[in-house]
Amino acid sequence: MKTKQLIWAMAFAVVSVATSCNSKPQEKAEDVEEKREDVIEEQREGDAAGVMDEQAELDSARKDYREAVKDSIKNN
């Protein structure tokens, strides 16, 4: 019984570490995708000012994503 519990505990620890290491870049990637969709939506609506605003937010989200990936690589 103790061996089985130890195996499950170790498996859980490995999965937890792997998930936590990738969560920040993954969150940033999802944010980039959302911002890209916002830009496309504004383009469809034909609002030039809205497109510029959304594009600025997309550029910022992309920068944040690149920094998160660099930090993730540095920490591993």
Report pLDDT digits (tens) over 24-71: 888 999 999 999 999 999 999 998 999 999 999 999 999 999 999 998
Torsion of CA 10, 14, 20, 25, to 10 degrees: -170
* Alpha-carbon span 61 to 69, nearest angstrom: 12
Q: Does the pLDDT value for residue 1 go beyond 90? A: no
pLDDT score for 15: 61
Residues 6+ apart with CB under 8 A from 25: 65, 68, 69, 72
User: pLDDT per residue over 5-24, tens digit each?
Assistant: 767 767 666 666 555 555 88
